[in-house]
C-alpha cells in the first residue's frame, strides 16, 4: 500500500466472516471499512467509538475487486479526501495477501452531528486543522465547475 493512505488498520479474516462460497461475505467487507473508519476517527481526532461519536454516516459505497479468503490479513488504508461545511468525505483501500493485492475500495460521507439538537452542525475548525495536518494537505471541498 502506498503512502496515499497515512492511516492503516489490519484485521484478520475469521472463519465466521466467510459465506457459503468460502470467501468473505460482502457485508463483512463493509464492516471492515467501518472498522478502519472508526479507528481513523479514534486515532486522528480522539473520538471514542463508544457513546456519542459526533458524526453520522450519510453514505457508503464499496467496490469489490477480488475475493478475500480465510487466513488472509486485510490492511485497511483510510484517509479524509475533503471537508465541506457540515460533512467530510473519506476513501478506503483494502488489500490482502502476501502480495498486498487490492481487494476492495470504498468511499463514504460523514456528517458532523449535534445529538443535543438532533441536527447537522458545522465541522469545527479544530477538526479541520487536525485532519489537514494528518493528511498533509488542504482538505477544502472542491467547488463544482460552473
**Domain map (residue ranges) of the chain:** 7-132
Mean pLDDT over the full length of the chain = 94
Band (pLDDT 50/70/90 cuts) for residue 145 is low
pLDDT at 20 over 50: yes
Band (pLDDT 50/70/90 cuts) for residue 141 is confident
Q: What pLDDT score was predicted for residue 48?
A: 86
Band (pLDDT 50/70/90 cuts) for residue 1 is very low
CATH number of 7-132: 3.10.129.10
pLDDT at 140 over 80: yes
CB contact set of 69 (below 8 Å; sequence gap of 6+): 13, 22, 23, 24, 96
pLDDT at 3 over 70: no
Q: What pLDDT score was predicted for residue 125?
A: 97
Task: Say how far apart CA 111 and CA 122 lie, in whole Å.
Answer: 9
Helices (H) and strands (E) in the chain, counts: 2, 6
CB 18 within 8 A of CB 89: no
Q: What pLDDT score was predicted for residue 66?
A: 97
CB 139 within 8 A of CB 131: yes
Amino acid at each position: 500500500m502506498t503512502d496515499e493512505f497515512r492511516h492503516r488498520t489490519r484485521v484478520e479474516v475469521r472463519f465466521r466472516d466467510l459465506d457459503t462460497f468460502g470467501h468473505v461475505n460482502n457485508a463483512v467487507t463493509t464492516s471492515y471499512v467501518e472498522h478502519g473508519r472508526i479507528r481513523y476517527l479514534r486515532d486522528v481526532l480522539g473520538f471514542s467509538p463508544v457513546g456519542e461519536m459526533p458524526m453520522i454516516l450519510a453514505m457508503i459505497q464499496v467496490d469489490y475487486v477480488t475475493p478475500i479468503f480465510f487466513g488472509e490479513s486485510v490492511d485497511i488504508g483510510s484517509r479524509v479526501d475533503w471537508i465541506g461545511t457540515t460533512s467530510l468525505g473519506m476513501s478506503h483501500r483494502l488489500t490482502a495477501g502476501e502480495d498486498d493485492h487490492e481487494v476492495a475500495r470504498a468511499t463514504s460521507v460523514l456528517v458532523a452531528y449535534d445529538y443535543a439538537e438532533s441536527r447537522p452542525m458545522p465541522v469545527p475548525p479544530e477538526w479541520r486543522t487536525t485532519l489537514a495536518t494528518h493528511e498533509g494537505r488542504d482538505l477544502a471541498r472542491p467547488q463544482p465547475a460552473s
